[in-house]
Amino acid sequence: MNSDNTLKLQKIEGLLTDILTLIHRELNSKSSFDILPQKELLKQLNISPNTLKNWENLGLKRLEPPIEGTRCVFYEVKEVLRFLAD
């Protein structure tokens, strides 16, 4: 196996570990809110904003408050998990 494939596999393994960590945190969370701000989702999954934008282009739904001029973006955890499972 060449080094490019090895690096790709390591990146995939890292993403899967991050996803499992997110699932574990969500299942153990006592919070009644099932949404995460964009910044927190990026941090927990250790992904770039470009990756998240690509996911949105592939169908991941974002939640935006109905307040004009706000820049807050949220994601429903169950939707993120559903998207990643597909």
Domain count for the chain: 1
Q: Where residue 12 sits, what CATH number does that domain have?
A: 1.10.1660
Structural domain for 69, as ranges = 3-85
pLDDT of residue 27: 60
**pTM of the predicted model as reported, rounded to 2 decimal places:** 0.62
Q: pLDDT tens per residue, the chain (86 residues)?
A: 688 888 888 888 888 888 877 776 766 665 556 888 999 999 988 899 999 999 999 999 999 888 777 788 999 988 888 888 77
The SS3 assignment for 71 reads: coil
Strand partners, 37: 74
Q: Classify burial at 36, counting beta carbons within 10 Å of its beta carbon; exposed 0-12, middle 13-18, buried 19 or more.
A: buried
Consecutive H or E run containing 36: strand 35-37
pLDDT of residue 2: 80
